[in-house]
A and B are shown apart, each in its own frame.
Chain A
Amino acid sequence: GAGVSQSPSNKVTEKGKDVELRCDPISGHTALYWYRQRLGQGLEFLIYFQGNSAPDKSGLPSDRFSAERTGESVSTLTIQRTQQEDSAVYLCASSLVTSGRIADTQYFGPGTRLTVL
């Protein structure tokens, strides 16, 4: 079946503009995650969804970042008033389930490369 897809693949924006990044998880996956990867670094967790709820938003760096998920499917990460330090690759992942003491395998999309000028 299809993997995780993200759009756009690349986004160049000017400082101060808002951007929306989209993630389509693997069909049937109830858990969805957003990570950020700065150049040459590992991934930083941003937020995770179980269904349409976000029990853990602890990684969102500021109130300029928000995310939502609808229909237990598509998720949108919105960055308002973008800053140059927001430039990074934003990666989305999904997993079949996340509950209790089980860490299910996360499958990643290709990412959106965001460049803020």
Chain B
Amino acid sequence: AQKVTQAQTEISVVEKEDVTLDCVYETRDTTYYLFWYKQPPSGELVFLIRRNSFDEQNEISGRYSWNFQKSTSSFNFTITASQVVDSAVYFCAPPPEGSHNKLIFGAGTRLAVHP
């Protein structure tokens, strides 16, 4: 992908609310991978998911789910029943076009979950 857009700069929710983080990317590649990472206040990036462009099935992992729509170049992330520990910056990160040797990061979406 040449570009990734996470339009929501900051989201604030109350615990137990569901929240969806949007990710839209641009690419001319026919085969590509997409990643989501979480960066809690401690600063370390935590890998959440890797998805290849062949597989458009939605994925669920506990309270986390991902909706990949190739037709709209979106890879949205939903947290169900949010918890305070979900407070972090979330990055959607695709590789650039024609390359799988690095990731492109936007500014991310800062999620604040309040008790």
Give me the interface of A with B, judged by CB distance under 8 Å: 31, 33, 35, 40-45, 48, 50, 55-56, 59, 89, 91, 93, 98, 100-111, 113
Contact = CB atoms under 8 A, between A and B. Distances in A.
A59 B105 CA distance: 13
Given A42-B107, A45-B103, A111 B43 contact: yes
Interface string B27-42: 0000111010100001
Interface in B81-109: 91, 93, 95, 99-108
Contacts of A110: 42-44
Given A98-B100, A101-B31, A102-B100, A108 B45 contact: yes
Contacts of B108: 42
Interface in B18-73: 31-33, 35, 37, 42-47, 50
Interface of B, helix, strand, loop or mixed by DSSP? loop
A56 B91 contact: no
Given A101-B31, A103-B33, A103-B95, A108 B44 contact: yes
B84 to A, nearest CB: 21
26 contacts: A31-B101, A42-B91, A43-B93, A43-B105, A45-B103, A48-B102, A50-B101, A55-B101, A56-B102, A59-B102, A98-B101, A100-B100, A101-B31, A102-B100, A103-B35, A103-B95, A103-B100, A104-B100, A105-B47, A105-B50, A106-B103, A107-B47, A108-B37, A108-B45, A109-B44, A110-B42
